[in-house]
Amino acid sequence: MAEIVFERVTKRYDDGQLAVNALDLKIADGEFLVLVGPSGCGKSTALRMIAGLEEISDGVLVIDGAVANDLSPRDRNIAMVFQSYALYPHLTVADNIGFGLKVRGSNKAEIRTKVEETAKLLELTELLDRKPGRLSGGQRQRVAMGRALVRSPKAFLMDEPLSNLDARLRGQMRAEIAHLQKMTGVTTVYVTHDQVEAMTMGDRVAVMNKGVLQQLAAPRTLYDAPANLFVAGFIGSPPMNLLPGQVEATESGYALKLGQLTIALDAAAIESRPAIPRFADRNIIAGIRPEAFQFLEDATPGPGRLSGKVAFVEDLGASLLVHLDLDGASVVAAGVSEDGEELSSARTRLRAVIDGTLPVRKADRICLSVDPSRIHLFDEATEQAIID
Q: Which CATH superfamily is domain 4-227 in?
A: P-loop containing nucleotide triphosphate hydrolases (3.40.50.300)
Neighbours of 40 (CB within 10 A): 18
Confidence at residue 335, expressed as pLDDT on a 0 to 100 scale: 47
CA distances from residue 45 to 10, 31, 36, 220, 343 in whole angstroms, order as listed: 10, 20, 12, 26, 24
Classify residue 116 by burial, with Cβ atoms within 10 Å: 0-12, 13-18, 19+: middle
Residue 136 backbone dihedrals phi, psi, to 5 degrees:
-75, 170
The answer to whether 321 and 236 have CB atoms below 8 angstroms apart is no
d(CA 224, CA 291) in angstroms, rounded, equals 12
Confidence at residue 126, expressed as pLDDT on a 0 to 100 scale: 94
CATH class given for the domain over 234-379: mainly beta
Report the predicted TM-score, pTM, of the whole model to 2 decimal places: 0.87
188-211 burial, b at 16+ Cβ within 10 Å, e below that, comes to bbbbbbbbbbbbebbbbbbbbbbb
d(CA 346, CA 332) in angstroms, rounded, equals 6
Confidence at residue 345, expressed as pLDDT on a 0 to 100 scale: 47
Confidence at residue 347, expressed as pLDDT on a 0 to 100 scale: 59
Element containing residue 213 per DSSP (H, E) = strand 212-217
Q: What is the DSSP string of 268-326?
A: HHHHH-TTGGGGBTSEEEEEE-GGGEEEES-----TT-EEEEEEEEEE-SSEEEEEEEE
Nearest to 62 by CA among 18, 19, 138, 8: 8
pLDDT tens over the chain, length 388 residues: 699 999 999 999 999 899 999 999 999 999 999 999 999 999 999 999 999 999 999 999 999 999 999 999 989 999 887 766 788 999 999 999 999 888 888 899 999 999 998 898 888 999 999 999 999 877 888 888 888 888 888 999 998 887 767 777 788 778 888 888 888 889 999 999 988 899 999 999 999 999 999 999 999 999 999 999 999 999 998 999 999 999 999 888 899 999 888 999 988 888 888 899 999 989 999 999 999 999 998 888 877 889 999 999 999 999 999 999 999 888 886 544 555 455 544 457 999 999 999 999 999 999 999 999 899 999 999 999 998 7
d(CA 116, CA 120) in angstroms, rounded, equals 6
- Calculate ∠ Cα 112-115-121, nearest 5°: 140
336: β partners: 342
Confidence at residue 334, expressed as pLDDT on a 0 to 100 scale: 52
Q: Where are the domains of the chain?
A: 4-227, 234-379
Confidence at residue 131, expressed as pLDDT on a 0 to 100 scale: 94
HSE-CB at 359 with a 13 A cutoff on CA atoms is 1
Confidence at residue 333, expressed as pLDDT on a 0 to 100 scale: 65
Query: Is the bond preceding 238 in cis, omega lying within 30 degrees of 0?
Result: yes
Neighbours of 351 (CB within 10 A): 20
d(CA 317, CA 49) in angstroms, rounded, equals 44
Fold agreement (4-227, 234-379): no
The answer to whether 3 and 159 have CB atoms below 8 angstroms apart is no
